[in-house]
Amino acid sequence: MRNFLVLLKKDFRMMVSGRFFLAAAGSLLLYTLFIQYIVSGNGLTQLKVLVGELLFIEIAAVRFLEIGSMLLKEKQMGVVRVHAVMPFQKRLFLLSKLTAFLLSDLLFAAGLTMLNAGGLEAAGIMPAVLLQTAVLSLLMALAGFGCAMLLQDFKQFSAAYAVIVAYAAVPVFMAQDPSGVAAWINWNPFYHIYRELKNAFFGIHCAGWVYYACTGCGIGVMFLLAQAAFYKEMGKES
């Protein structure tokens, strides 16, 4: 436990030095101003739709890029090489990263919801919003971690980022025209996560055990793949 807390503290320091929290606060302010400007006079329904869309895009796109950038920087600094010879469970390195980014994403989601839905309305939907945020956050953090470990430089990572984020963002753009949603979109797992996140803002609970079983298995598989990529990188560095 002590080793995990040491790693977690180090990750938070890295996020602070990289102005991660400053950027998140800026995004929170800009999103709130944008939402209030667009929604002014148009009702609570449009507000909730916008908040859900922006939250999904922020975590799917921005967090993936940030964890990848942080890990690529650590690889260049020799941090992975150091951890390869340190006497603690190697998976703690991955777990500390996931915890740091998950906590920051939950805080961001709570702030965006409170600032825009406000008061009792936000309190009522918060548990469901945070649950779906956690699912998306873990998947994107694991994808970013794995790509950063497998790819050699930021140029390669950027190419992977463009493909993965485009795939993840498809449900948001298709949702603008429900009549145009094709049957194949059901094979995109991010469509179901986006739908559940959007429903959470309206207090609608459609997800059953199949959804949570699939997302749980998906997170588990992604964790094993990211861990394998980390062990492979450590093998190269040791």
pLDDT in tens, 97-127: 999 999 999 999 999 999 988 777 888 899 9
Distance, in Å, from the CA atom of 116 to the CA atom of 237, rounded to the nearest integer, reads 47
pLDDT category at 182 given cuts 50, 70, 90 is low
pTM: 0.89
Query: What's the 3-state SS for 111-132?
Result: HHHHHHCCHHHHHHHHHHHHHH
Mean confidence (pLDDT) of the chain = 85
How far apart CA 2 and CA 56 sit, in angstroms, is 33
Q: In the predicted model, is pLDDT for residue 167 greater than 70?
A: yes
* pLDDT for residue 179 is more than 60: no
Q: What is the mean pLDDT of residues 162-167?
A: 88
At residue 228, the pLDDT reads: 92
Q: Return the pLDDT at 171.
A: 73
Task: Please give the pLDDT value at position 138.
Answer: 95
From residue 78, how far is each of 8, 71, 100 by CA, in Å?
Answer: 18, 10, 20
Element (H, E) at 236: helix 209-237
Is 234 a residue whose pLDDT tops 90? no
3-state secondary structure of 138: helix
What is the three-class DSSP state of 181? coil
Q: Do 200 and 110 form a contact (C-beta atoms < 8 A)?
A: no
Res. 132: pLDDT tops 70: yes
